[in-house]
Structure 1
């Protein structure tokens, strides 16, 4: 067969719900930098731990959704999940409105915010109509870009709104920065007021507005036709071509599933992990001089999101394995360059001269990771049986989300070591190992699948 029929199409309303969820989840990448700017008692270890807690929540909820199967991908399920995001959003608003921050409560809120990131699994796989295998990489990449919009919104919009008292007399007392901070517009000097609770208020308003819009749409549809038992109107009922989908255990017996899992951890795991940690890692790199992490950090995830459709097209044209090898080697060289710059900056009297090269190297990593993510999906569509592909792609996404756990943990090690470049060297070795494994398994002429 040259076509595959996947799960229900991601419509506009579902896409909005997913974007709001991703924005809430990635808001922690901004909050940890702002908390570092306004408080003196939170260490880098605690801040990276908050990021790891948010990543842990997303990973745990993703596996719950994986266990629930197709139900977790239905529009009503996603909408209910979005309503539940009010819990961490309201909690965040309250916690950032009080004078004393309780780190234990922040850990709980960060974990619960992971529910927003877990909804990303509904995009894998994503398409309700028949997709030609020749264009599968492109189609899946475009759908995955929906979640990336939430990442960019979190890192551009939230820092900007934190500096505006848009609630007037209703706003809580602002926090004052004790060091240089910033937003997408530029650098904020010390003693600048920040209304951090604005982040929670914005997300509360977004969730409520989306929920009300969803309710209105459902009522409008209900006036025209009775919904089916699954919750979808008759015209939108998902097509199920295999009434007995393969069990996850059967998929995990396929060695190609484990190879694709490793490669997607390398690709998407790196993308989401670095998207979560880059603002804080730039802050640790540039804490003593002018460049602001929040002024530039959003560029990397944006380029990674834009690279996904391009990576899907490249994989469709030249083969996913070849694209994957090139991306892995590029990421390895970029990490080695970042390691060198980190070591050089630690010994330099003018470390600011290394900030721009360091940032540019990470932009390359994001582009390569986004491209590689699409290449993995293309390769998986060839080496895995088509009837297993939908569940397999959701498995890949759930496991690779662990990048939002181990990368914050490794960055903590990176900043606590005397030679902080060691972690970046370890990343480079991992990427080289993945490139070698792809070449050995999929780029030999006698391979079971050549350049899938």
Structure 2
């Protein structure tokens, strides 16, 4: 592994994390350093992306910003959609400009929506369209997920990718909980009329993480050769099957994370303080569960963990329907927190399925006489591209979750039961897809170095 100087930034050439000797002799240290900064960048990105899940709780007539339920749900839908739309170009940007270079730019870019939100969020009489524009700009925080995951995929060997991707994504996902904790702190200390304080807390953090990315991260030269990978991955059926599953896991996580506070307000009449006192718990536990889901998938297979996870998510949704019918706050919040944890586990296990699927294909190609290094290099290239596509589709699932809540609560019934029934049906569909498409597959036998390379790659 030799350093290759470049005109811009630091580049590493001949990077092969599957080379166990090179991995032990310094590769692991380099990968973990990049992972640590990547987690910090993605964390800040998620926090900015989910700002409006907190800011809408402050928007009351007391500060001259009284919006109805439909308008508030629209404010949390907008950044979700934009963040999803940006994930493919953000993932491609890593292959064009390098992971380090793009992380520096993408993190610094978060200052734009943060500064705009800081200026307008406490200006009485500001029109909804202004906040929709700012909300759309905060979508850049959602794009950081795809670029970060694509970059980290290149740094780690397959046998550690479930853990590494789970840790990277989990550290980012926890940004949803942290911004809500900051909202709770602001409301508890100075009341619910100072939303600008929530935004101001992130300005220095964005600057610090940008500097850390500039000073400590590396670009992997091999990633730049991946042009056309997204097009090839998009033509693969398994990419779309996994994307459908990721709607059920990540779509649930980010959709619930953005909407939980509003759901508590409209389902139980909670005050902003009461709502934000509970909203952070689910995203926090769900974020910590994501690396565990990746670790379990490394050991037992992503498809198996994903299948049982969707069964449990269905049970959790039934619990929400019962709690809503009984108007039981305790049972409702318990069910919601359980769904957050399960969606986190499912995020980790579903993402593990992506490199496992393509690595399995590489092993089969080698059995058919193809060159091993080229087969596994192609698998790694397609895995990174498929991760970006699944991330995009999954984030759009979050917008669908919020749209379902908007329709349910906007109808004047004061109940989210219609939305929960829709979610229950989707989880049942995901269980069926996981079983039929992935669990019923029977891999061919492999031996020797191919079998060793496939260790931990079972779907």
The question of a shared fold, defined as TM-score above 0.5 by the shorter chain, is answered with yes
Which blocks of at least 5 consecutive residues in structure 2 are unaligned? 1-15, 359-378, 446-456
The 8 Å contact of residues 53 and 110 in structure 1, kept in 2 or not, is answered as yes
**What is the aligned length?**
401
Q: Does 1:250 align with 2:232?
A: yes
Who is 1:195 aligned against?
Answer: 194
Match of 1:421 among 390, 407, 417: 417
Alignment deviations for residues 125-148 of structure 1 (CA, whole Å, 9 cap, x no partner) = 354776443332122111112212
Q: Does 1:278 align with 2:277?
A: no
Match of 2:429 among 420, 430, 433: 433
Match of 2:150 among 115, 125, 129: 125
Change in Cα spacing, 1:333 to 1:149, as seen in structure 2 (3 Å) is closer
Change in Cα spacing, 1:200 to 1:72, as seen in structure 2 (3 Å) is farther
Change in Cα spacing, 1:193 to 1:254, as seen in structure 2 (3 Å) is closer
Q: Does 1:412 align with 2:412?
A: no
Q: Within 5 A, what are the aligned runs for 1:173-192?
A: 192=191
Q: Does 1:387 align with 2:381?
A: yes
TM-score normalised per structure 1: 0.80
Match of 2:46 among 12, 22, 28: 22
SS in 2 for 1:194: coil
The 8 Å contact of residues 311 and 428 in structure 2, kept in 1 or not, is answered as yes
Aligned-residue offset at 1:362: 1.0
Distance in 2 separating the partners of 1:336 and 1:140: 30
The 8 Å contact of residues 45 and 412 in structure 1, kept in 2 or not, is answered as yes
Which blocks of at least 5 consecutive residues in structure 1 are unaligned? 166-191, 222-231, 346-353
Q: Within 5 A, what are the aligned runs for 1:91-170?
A: 91-127=116-152, 131-162=156-187, 164=189
SS in 1 for 2:139: helix
Distance in 2 separating the partners of 1:239 and 1:104: 42
Change in Cα spacing, 1:200 to 1:143, as seen in structure 2 (3 Å) is closer
Distance in 2 separating the partners of 1:368 and 1:23: 21
Match of 2:72 among 47, 51, 61: 47
Aligned-residue offset at 1:262: 0.6
Distance in 2 separating the partners of 1:32 and 1:72: 36
Change in Cα spacing, 1:451 to 1:423, as seen in structure 2 (3 Å) is farther
Who is 2:301 aligned against?
Answer: 319
SS in 2 for 1:59: helix
Which range moved further: 45-54 or 16-25?
Answer: 16-25
What is the root-mean-square deviation in Å for CA atoms of aligned residues? Answer: 3.1
Aligned-residue offset at 1:321: 1.2
Distance in 2 separating the partners of 1:386 and 1:214: 27
Change in Cα spacing, 1:276 to 1:10, as seen in structure 2 (3 Å) is farther
Q: Does 1:300 align with 2:282?
A: yes
Change in Cα spacing, 1:359 to 1:441, as seen in structure 2 (3 Å) is same
Match of 1:377 among 341, 347, 351: 351
Distance in 2 separating the partners of 1:109 and 1:289: 25
Change in Cα spacing, 1:320 to 1:271, as seen in structure 2 (3 Å) is same
Aligned-residue offset at 1:442: 2.0
The 8 Å contact of residues 292 and 345 in structure 2, kept in 1 or not, is answered as yes
SS in 2 for 1:317: helix
The 8 Å contact of residues 126 and 143 in structure 1, kept in 2 or not, is answered as no
Aligned-residue offset at 1:74: 2.3
Select the structure that is richer in helix: 2
Change in Cα spacing, 1:72 to 1:31, as seen in structure 2 (3 Å) is farther
Distance in 1 separating the partners of 2:185 and 2:220: 40
Change in Cα spacing, 1:344 to 1:40, as seen in structure 2 (3 Å) is farther
Aligned-residue offset at 1:72: 6.0
Alignment deviations for residues 171-226 of structure 1 (CA, whole Å, 9 cap, x no partner) = xxxxxxxxxxxxxxxxxxxxx56312212322333334444x459x65xx9xxxxx
Aligned-residue offset at 1:101: 2.8
Aligned-residue offset at 1:340: 2.6
Change in Cα spacing, 1:336 to 1:86, as seen in structure 2 (3 Å) is same
The 8 Å contact of residues 155 and 294 in structure 1, kept in 2 or not, is answered as yes
The 8 Å contact of residues 124 and 144 in structure 1, kept in 2 or not, is answered as yes
Who is 2:57 aligned against?
Answer: 33
Distance in 2 separating the partners of 1:325 and 1:137: 17
TM-score normalised per structure 2: 0.79
Who is 2:242 aligned against?
Answer: 260
Distance in 2 separating the partners of 1:339 and 1:70: 45
The 8 Å contact of residues 177 and 279 in structure 2, kept in 1 or not, is answered as no
Q: Does 1:363 align with 2:309?
A: no
The 8 Å contact of residues 283 and 340 in structure 2, kept in 1 or not, is answered as yes
Distance in 2 separating the partners of 1:94 and 1:150: 22
Which range moved further: 279-288 or 9-18?
Answer: 9-18
The 8 Å contact of residues 242 and 387 in structure 1, kept in 2 or not, is answered as no
Aligned-residue offset at 1:357: 0.6
